[in-house]
Amino acid sequence: MENNIGHGKSWKVMEKPSFQDGAKASGWEIDKLLSSAYWLFKDTPARREDFTTVTKASDFPMKFCKHRWLENVPVCERFIKMLPDLRQYVKAVKEGTVPDPKTKSYETIKQCCANHLVPVRLAFFLSVSEKITRFLTQYQTDKPMLPFMCSDLFKVVKDLMGRFMKSDKMAGVTSMYQLLKIDVQAKEDHNVYSKIDIGFRAEKELKSVVDPKTKKKVTDKEIMQFKLECRDFLVAIVKKIMDKSPLKFTLARNLSFTDPREMGSTAKEKNLEKCKAVLRQLNEANRVSDKDVDEILQQYGHYIDETVVPRCSEYTNFCVSTSRLDELLFDTMANNSSMHKLWSCVKMLLLLSHGQASVERGFSVNKQVELDNLDEDTFVAKRIICDHVASVGGLQNIDASDKQMLLAASSARQKYLAYLEDEKKKKESSGRGQKRKLLNDEIDELQNKKRCLQTDIDSLTTSADEYTEKAEQTHQVSWITKSNSFRRSAKEKRAEVTIVEEQLKQKLQELKNSE
């Protein structure tokens, strides 16, 4: 069965690979620009003071996150807001009013301030990222959303394609299958640069830099190049989404048979075909047996006739944002014995939604409770508190008169003191253990040194004996001289062994006393 089609998969595909690929395809180096703005004033109080003195502004650039590009919408908005102040600061540096930072970050900002197309590029960046962010925000939830994902993703991709593809090419596209057959890289199907939709905000920014009443700050050639770069941005995003997103999986595309809006408005035969396609996938994956497929199809047909049709308006007007699909299907299927096998199958499909949704969403929760040098236990405690507040529906729903809560609050000081005492004991124990470890290391080193010295002594003694025997056999005095030299060296080594043994004895006594 096809895998990786849940919430976390769509987030990762659209978050980093597709959007990052689009940004890189444009060649604008937005990541370098936004990062430079942040690091220019990071940890430099004097430079921040100079900036505030010159511009009278209190805001500073936000940190750019390179591995979660769509988290950078506020970063981009802050930069656009600060751009006039940054230009004023650069001007003050040129005039010598404030010191020149002389950093790579400043050079990047200096070049940015001289480029009049930068705010237009950032406005386009925002127009694309905000659209994708809305989709991703909707799907960062614990609710089962997979049956709605492909239809919503289809709308997002089609809208992005419509910004650079010819209208006659997009006019007949009404299904996901047709959308996937389009080659977005075919330049003959692209609009001319003047018809590329760059978004209202970017158009407004572009007009402000080419207004004939003032002075043209950019040439027509630069405008054409900018729009072609916007096209490359969109092409890269759409291509990556179509290659990696759930749209290409037949299982994901056919899961819309559980969408109440589809059941209420689409022909029964079409929904049955989708249901059959899904069951075929489940059967190939050994999740549904051959004998159950026909029965599940029959139960699904009865469900539409007996439940959906009489309550058609309720299903057609189903609201994804305020209602839960699993609750609706549980109420209408789970308690009906004639729908037992259908409900078992549907329940299994709804569980596919839960991939990395909770994990990904956890980053934003951590950000709210995270502090510098936060202890692990404190961090866990804060997360438990946040989860409890979320589970009861907000702070106003917490029962402050609960006995367990009052007891926990009243004993907090005692628990804290006990914790400090435990930490003190752990520290003392750790210190003793560290001292013993150092002593053991020193003892091992001395023992190794003693073994090496003893080996050298044995070798020197053997060599001295050999030369003595040669002197006796040959009656040459030179061999006696060499033999005596080796014996003197062996004697010096024995003196060193005596010193090492004394040190070793001392360390062993220290180790014994520390126990």
Write out the DSSP string of 17-44. Answer: IIHHHHHHHHT--HHHHHHHHHHHHTT-
More confident position, 511 or 77 = 77
**pLDDT tens digit sequence for 379-396:** 778 778 888 888 888 888
Sole residue written with tokens 């699904």: 300
Secondary structure letter of residue 323 according to DSSP: S
What six digits make up the tokens of 39?
Answer: 């690091």
Count of other CB atoms within 10 angstroms of residue 135: 18
Evaluate if pTM is beyond 0.75.
no
Q: How far apart are the first and last CA of the chain?
A: 61
The answer to whether 435 and 514 have CB atoms below 8 angstroms apart is: yes
HSE toward the beta carbon, residue 15, CA cutoff 13 A:
17
Residue where the block lists tokens 């043994």: 501
Give the chain's largest Cα–Cα span: 125
Q: Break the chain into its structural domains and give their ranges.
A: 7-245, 250-353, 357-398, 431-514
Mean pLDDT value across residues 96-119: 89
Task: State yes or no: pLDDT of 148 exceeds 80.
Answer: yes
Q: Give the mean pLDDT of the chain.
A: 82
Rounded Cα gap, residues 275 and 65, in angstroms: 42
Sign, CA dihedral 428-431-437-443, equals: negative
Query: How much of the chain is in helix, strand and coil states, percent to nearest 5?
Result: 75, 0, 20
Q: What is the CA radius of gyration of the chain?
A: 37
pLDDT band at residue 363 using 50, 70 and 90 as cut-offs:
very low
How many other C-beta atoms lie within 10 A of the C-beta of residue 72?
A: 25
- Between these two residues, 275 and 515, which has the higher pLDDT value? 275
Instruction: Tell me the pLDDT tens digit for each residue of 261-312.
Output: 988 888 889 999 999 999 999 999 899 898 899 999 999 999 999 999 888 8
pLDDT value, residue 275: 92
Query: Residue 213 — pLDDT band, cuts 50, 70, 90?
Result: low
